Amino acid sequence: MIRTAIADYTVSMAESIPEYYGEHTAHIEEFDLDQTNRSAFYVEVQRGFDWPFLCVVQRYSPNHWAGSHPGILLVPETHLLFIGAGERILAYDLKGPTRLWEDRAEFGFHHWRRHGGVVVLSAELELAAWDSWGVKRWTTFVEPPWEYHIDDGLVHLDVMGTRSSFPLLTGPAHT
C-alpha cells in the first residue's frame, strides 16, 4: 500500500485488493471484481486520521504489462479526484463523496497531468482535457507514437510525425 498526503487528504493506493477493504468506509465503489484474470487497483481516501470515506476497488485491463499503469490526480481546491486504470476513467467529488462520471479510454489509460486549471488525460488513443471541476473541455484522437507538451497555453501535439498546436482551454478545432 502506498499512501500520499495531498492538502487535507490522504490517498492510499495498491495494485492488489486488501482483504480488509471497505471496513469503516462510508462509500464503496466496486468494478469488475469477478474478473480475476485482470489486474487490481485499490484507492481509498480519508481526511487526516479519520476513517476512509471513499474506497474504489476494481479489476482492469489492459494492465501494466501492456504499458497501461493505473493513476490518480487530486485537485484539492475543488475536492476532485480523477482515477484511471485500464480503460476505465472516473471522477469523484470528494465532498459527497459522489461519482461525477465514468468514461472509457480505449486501449488503455496512461496518465493524468495538471496544467493550471486544466487536467489532461493521456491514453493510448486519446488526449483529452477537463476543467478542475470535472467538466470535459475537449478530446482528440491520437495513435502511437505520439507525444505532447504545453507552452504558453498551447498544446503542441506530435502524432506519428504530424505536428499541430491548439489552445489548452478550447482544444483542437474539428472540421
**What is the pTM assigned to this prediction?**
0.94
* Within a domain: 175: no
Q: What is the pLDDT along the chain (175 residues), one digit of tens a residue?
A: 999 999 999 999 999 999 888 788 889 999 999 998 899 999 999 998 899 999 999 999 876 655 678 999 999 999 999 999 999 999 999 999 999 999 999 899 999 999 999 999 999 999 999 999 999 999 999 999 999 999 999 999 999 999 999 999 999 986 4
What's the pLDDT at 175? 45
Torsions phi, psi for 65 (to 5 deg): -65, -25
In a domain, 12, yes or no: yes
User: Which amino acid is located at 24 in the chain?
Assistant: H
Phi, psi of 15 (to 5 degrees): -100, 40
- Residue 156 maps to a domain: yes
Q: What are phi and psi of 69, to 5 degrees?
A: -110, 140
What range does the domain containing 80 cover? 2-167
In this structure, is residue 139 part of a structural domain? yes
- What is the pLDDT at residue 64? 61
What's the domain count of the chain? 1
**From CA 102, how far away is CA 147, in angstroms rounded?**
25
- Residues forming a β-bridge with 101: 91
Is 108 within 8 Å of 86 (Cβ atoms)? yes
173 inside domain: no
Contact 122, 78 (CB under 8 A): no
Specify the 3-state DSSP secondary structure of 141: strand
Q: How many CA atoms lie within 13 A of 87 on its CB side?
A: 8
The verdict on residue 174 lying in a domain is: no
